[in-house]
Amino acid sequence: MRPTTIAILGAKGGVGTTSFTANLAIYLATIGKRVLAVDADPAGSDLHAALGVGPRVAPYVAPAPAFGDETESLFAGAELDAEMVNTLPSRDPVEGPVPGLHLMDGGLSEPHRGSARRSSLRELQSRLAKQDADFAVVDLGSTATDAALRFWCNAGHRLAVTMPEPNAVTGLYRLVRKAFAHLALDDVEDEDDRKVLHDAFVKTGHTPIPADIAALVQRDSPALGHALRHWMSALHFPFIVNQARLRADLDLGDHISVAVRRRFGVHLKYLGYVEHDDALRTTSLKRRPLLLESPGSRASRNIEKVARRLFAAQDTRRDRTPWRDVPGNSHYDVLEVERGATDEEIRRAHKRMCAVFDSANIVTFGLFDQEGLEAVRARIDEAYDVLLDPARRRPYEISVFPEAPEAQTKAKDKTIPPGELPPAPTITPDTEFSGALLRAVRESQGTGLEQISERTKVGTNYLRCIEDDEFDELPAAVYVRGFVTEFAKCLKLDPEQVSQSYLRRYREHREAKA
């Protein structure tokens, strides 16, 4: 059985990818999984030390005492052979410290025994496909090459590791930009669009800020710009904060998510933190993994909690981005509060945003220049002043939401009485979505195409073609995926399930016609 890959990538050197990989592999093995811990760090292969597995060491033959002629003592190693002194790692996995766990060297830092060159991540991927295990936990180190990032993005589960240091936080932002660029370039199928996007990346430095590149591309190619915004919302980027010491460090992950959402326009998945624990150093000196030597320590409990969240976050049915019923860049969106928030909720939100975008907060390092940070703070204060003043909030709500919630409800009840709505169709995890089924769901909710178009910014003509299954009238698949995903979000359906099943039928039609 092909193992499910869990790829661990560091924002910079020293953030702890090796120790986290080792202990995550041990956790999975202790709950009954067959696990491969894979060392794929090109900067140095040391995962064996974190697992407590000794390195291969050449035998030492003590030279005989010299008497007169020293040639005998100089060549005392003549009793050795080439195999004995060859300390390069084997290609085959070796047993780990617990049953069900094996260690595999990727061969990226030095060649394997019997080979004259180092392996590549592509070769490692093909080797992993032949292994009989449930999971392969791969330590990619902190060298974010194109090959490492491609391996990370294509893994079944992935995780980035950072720590409470300015350079590590900046390194995480760099990984986000690189991951977005990889996702965007890989998903473009049309050659002309690929060239436009590639040229834009070249002009802006190949890994620009997602929101900036989407705005630039949209000027010349609105459809491609819309697709980029879809990729921004679809980017799945889980990360953790390692070696947290202070109270501020525990809030760092949430602050990073807020700041990146405001500046990059993408949503990160913060899975938690691992506290700094002296037990980690003690266990490493004993050459014993943390989860085996000190399973009750704070860091051990943190790692187990992150592991559970990692698998939960990958489940698309449990990982839906909630639809926020407020316009983008509105005062509600700036403070990240819902419509109808109380004064107390607005005060708490304002205090939180001021803490996130404080110039002393390391999350702003490498993300905003001074003028940009002042503009963000001014925008936060403006939103706070308007929403907390009843005399200003009411006119603002009328300008943003043309009708009050009560008026909208009464109008809906008047035009479409609940008793006259058609019944909602049955939806299961195996349901194949067609245009007719999407129309049935929409009509059962009493929602018009104009309302969907207003919320998604997708033209009603495209929405009508989706419902009528007029595949020939729809644009390229990459755009259709974005349209259908936004359609599904409005109908409170699973966006991943809807887009995959609809795109399958779309491609079958295109292939049959070709």
Rounded Cα distance between 378 and 376, Å, is 5
pLDDT band at 73 (very low <50, low <70, confident <90, very high): low
Q: Which two tokens stand for residue 86?
A: 């060859």
In this prediction, what percent of the chain has a pLDDT beyond 70? Answer: 91
Residue 325 or 368, more confident: 368
pLDDT given at position 259: 95
Q: 328 CB contacts (<8 Å, ≥6 apart)?
A: none
pLDDT given at position 419: 56
pLDDT band at 510 (very low <50, low <70, confident <90, very high): confident
Q: Which two tokens stand for residue 457?
A: 């910014």
pLDDT given at position 457: 76
Q: 118 CB contacts (<8 Å, ≥6 apart)?
A: 42, 107, 108, 109, 110, 111
pLDDT band at 80 (very low <50, low <70, confident <90, very high): confident
Average pLDDT, the chain: 86
Helix (H, G, I), strand (E, B) or coil at 217: helix
The CA–CA distances, whole Å, from 214 to 56, 95, 220 equal: 51, 48, 11
Q: What angle do CA 175, 322, 350 make, to 5 degrees?
A: 80
Residue 102 burial (10 A CB sphere; 0-12, 13-18, 19+):
buried
pLDDT given at position 394: 86
Per-residue pLDDT for 414 more than 50? no
pLDDT band at 382 (very low <50, low <70, confident <90, very high): very high
pLDDT band at 322 (very low <50, low <70, confident <90, very high): very low
Residue 231 or 324, more confident: 231
pLDDT given at position 410: 43
Rounded Cα distance between 502 and 490, Å, is 16
Rounded Cα distance between 506 and 477, Å, is 8
- List the domains of the chain with CATH numbers: 4-162 (3.40.50.300), 166-276 (no CATH), 331-402 (1.10.287.110), 421-513 (1.10.260.40)
In this predicted model, what pLDDT tens digit does every residue of 5-48 receive, in sequence order?
999 999 999 999 999 999 999 999 999 999 999 999 998 878 99
Per-residue pLDDT for 377 more than 60? yes
Most confident stretch, 48-62, 91-105, 416-430: 91-105
Q: Which two tokens stand for residue 443?
A: 């009509």
pLDDT given at position 324: 57
Q: 484 CB contacts (<8 Å, ≥6 apart)?
A: 466, 498, 499, 502, 503
Are 190 and 476 in contact by the 8 Å Cβ rule? The answer is: yes
Per-residue pLDDT for 71 more than 60? no
